[in-house]
Amino acid sequence: MITKIRTYLRNEAHRFERRVKAKGFKQEVSYRVTKIVVSIVRSFIVFGLCFVILYPILQMIVAAVTNPDDLSNPLVVWIPRQFSLEFIQFAAEILDYRTGLINTAIMSFGVMILTLITSSLAGYAFAKLKFKGINILFFFVLFTIVVPPQTIAMPLYMIFNRLGLTSTLSSVFILAFLGMGIKSGIFIFIFRQVFRNLPKELEEAALIDGCGVFKTYYLVMLPNASSAFITVGLFSFVWQWNDVFYTRLLIAVENLNILALNLTSVSTKLVYMLQKLGVDQTLAEGISRNPLLVGTIANTGALLMMLPLLIGYLFVQRYFVESVERTGIVG
């Protein structure tokens, strides 16, 4: 160890001497000092902000595994005296976690697949299969992006209500397939940018080798746009998972367990559950007004809801960052 440090220092000293000879002592020192100061300031800011992001998550985790007695104990900071899974069990019960998780996963996954199909096809058409009037259609893509969802919320509900599709997952699926789901316009836009950046030669080579339009799309263009598929897939999955607006509008809470919806009505669910356990209604409502209890349950519930995404993020985090950079969305 010590010899390692010694050789490192010796090498550094040699390098420094060489630099000083080339540039002059003053420049070299000021260059080094600036470099060190910049890196200190940068790491201060970057890791400070990392702390700001991670702090609430860590706190949620700690609050979820702490024994209820330790929560209000001022002597306990961060590391509880006794770990317990009581709150997690309780919150899982209130959120109806198992069915909720399955429903939410089915919903998000289905929406992801349908969004990928529709928006990649549409994006490809906008980029490579131009016909007269397609620019007007593309203008409408941009228009769907800037219209706030609340403007079309009520008629949307009426349309699906008339078809008898509210409070089923199919309403969300239909919206995704028709390219009108959560931020679908942005996804079409991303695919168009990516397909537009693919060279024309690819298409010509495919044509010479006897590919029709669909085969060109399927065999040549799709594999080349894989980064866009990753980006759009991830975003549509995550946004659908976290969405409250469309889900609350189109899927009634009572009929279908969706985690995000259950999480927004924790205190009502608490009253309901206490009543089911045979607690008197007034008492149940009183208990559900205890902010510390409701808060801890809501906190644990939020953790439970984001847990699958967090675990998934650990694995796909690399693709997530790289793919957005490689899509050339901005190029």
Partner 1 sequence: MKLFGKRITYKQEKVIFGILFLSPWIIGLVFVFFSAILDSLLYSLSTVHFISGNATDAEISAFIESLGGFAFKKSGVILEWVGLDNFRYALFEHGTFNRILVDSVIEIGLNLPIIIIFSLLVAVMLNTRFKGNVFARAVFFLPVIIASDAITTALSQATLLQDTMNNVEESVFGNFEFQAFLLEAGLSQSIVTFLSNTVNQIFNVISYSGVQILIFLAGIQSIPSHLYEAAKIEGANSYESFWKITMPMVSPHILTVGIYTIIDGFVRAPITELILSLKDNLLYGYSASMAWIYFAIVILIIGIFIGLMNRVVFYYDN
* Cβ distance to partner 1 smaller for residue 59 or 89: 59
Looking only at residues 289 through 308 of this chain, which bind partner 1 when binding is defined by CB under 8 A? 291-292, 294-296, 298-299, 301-302, 305-306
Q: Which of 265, 313, 305, 318 is nearest to 105 (CA)?
A: 305
Min separation Cβ 310 and partner 1, Å:
7
Number of residues lying near partner 1 (CB under 8 A): 105
Determine if 253 is a binding residue for partner 1 (CB under 8 A): no
* HEC profile of 294-327: HHHHHHHHHHHHHHHHHHHHHHHHHHHHHHHHHH
Q: Which residues contact 156 (CB under 8 A, 6 or more apart)?
A: 249, 250
Residues 16-35 that bind partner 1 (CB under 8 A): none
Residue 133 has what DSSP assignment? T
Q: How far is the CB of 95 from partner 1 (least distance, A)?
A: 10
Is 40 one of the binding residues for partner 1 (CB under 8 A)? no
Asked if residue 221 binds partner 1 (CB under 8 A), the reply is no
Q: How far apart are CA 270 and CA 213, in angstroms?
A: 56
Provide the token pair at 47: 């890791």
Cβ pair 141, 126 in contact under 8 A: yes
Residue linked to tokens 């969802």: 149
CB of 21 to partner 1, least distance (A): 20
> Residue from 94, 101, 188, 284 that binds partner 1 (CB under 8 A)?
188
User: What is the phi-psi region of residue 93: left when phi exceeds 0, alpha when psi lies from -120 to 50, beta otherwise?
Assistant: alpha
137 binds partner 1 (CB under 8 A): yes
Which residue bears the tokens 């085969």?
Answer: 215
Taking CB under 8 A as the criterion, the residue among 266, 271, 274, 284 binding partner 1 is: 266
According to CB under 8 A, which residues from 309 to 328 bind partner 1? Answer: 309-310, 313, 317, 320-321, 324-325, 327-328
Pair of tokens at residue 35: 């470099």
Interface with partner 1 in residues 193-212 (CB under 8 A): 207, 212
Return the residues of window 138-167 that contact partner 1 according to CB under 8 A. 140, 144-159, 161-162
Tokens 């309403």 appear where?
171
Residue in 102, 178, 205, 219 binding partner 1, rule: CB under 8 A: 178
Q: How many CB atoms lie within 10 A of CB 319?
A: 16
Scanning residues 93 to 112, which ones bind partner 1 (CB under 8 A)? none
The H helix count followed by the E strand count for the chain is 18, 0
111 neighbors 240 (Cβ within 8 angstroms): yes
| 45/102 with CB nearer partner 1 | 45
Pick from 199, 223, 278, 331 the residue near partner 1 by CB under 8 A. Answer: 331
Q: Identify residues 53-92 at the interface with partner 1 (CB under 8 A).
A: 53-54, 56-57, 59, 62-63, 71-72, 74, 77
Residue 278 C-beta: closest distance to partner 1, Å: 25
